[in-house]
Structure 1
């Protein structure tokens, strides 16, 4: 497993924090998250230098966060900028607003994308 952080991405710390929270979850907490969310999110994040990194948040099978494409296939792919991901996680903007303004694009199960907010907020509460 490669290092989860990506140089040049502000959201790297956020993803690393999310990973740490997932690793701290007890098996029961993990199962609760999986039951509630039941999805694999693939985040394709682009920074100001137009570099792209892919992170996967698996809240369907294993309850883990890792850098790279989703294995198995993601239920939803979310394409957004580094800044938009930071704004989503901090609560400055919500997913629906970001989607409507074109700051966030999805491929796959769009309704599942709405659950990303809850995953980020739940993890933030644990940090």
Structure 2
């Protein structure tokens, strides 16, 4: 998962753990998660003036990779590294982050609400 890591971003550790969870799924588990989520998330995470981009493909592949979404994302989520860490740890939910301006979306906002579920899965399976 070294290709997911981005120096100076806590987000990359969480996404690497989530990617490992996805890889550990058998085909049935992966298809179930894809069917439940059915979307491509592009995460644009800022940290001290730098930005890193990751894509969570839960529409076709059930994978996570560093870089812009290909094909086009269903939703783009813009947030800080700290906000993503709080989401991943369950200290804040996506709705609260959105309402307080810590998280912004472009595209299918309702799909963005499913990110909490994916992160909860990662917390449970990867013991984050």
| TM-score strictly above 0.5 | yes
- Which residue is 1:79 aligned to? 78
Partner Cα separation in structure 2 for residue 86 and residue 119 of structure 1: 14
What's the Cα RMSD here?
1.2
- Partner of 1:125, secondary structure, is helix
The alpha carbon displacement at 1:50 in A equals: 1.0
Deviation per residue, 1:46-95 (Å, 9 max, x gap): 01x21000000000010000000011110000000000000001111010
Q: TM-score, normalised by structure 1?
A: 0.96
- Which residue is 1:93 aligned to? 92
Contact 1:41 1:57 in 2 (8 A): yes
Partner Cα separation in structure 1 for residue 125 and residue 53 of structure 2: 24
Deviation per residue, 1:98-124 (Å, 9 max, x gap): 001100000000000000000110122
- Partner of 2:45, secondary structure, is strand
Moved over 2 A (4+): none
Structure 1: where are the runs of 5+ without partners? Answer: none
Structure 2: where are the runs of 5+ without partners? Answer: none
Q: TM-score, normalised by structure 2?
A: 0.95
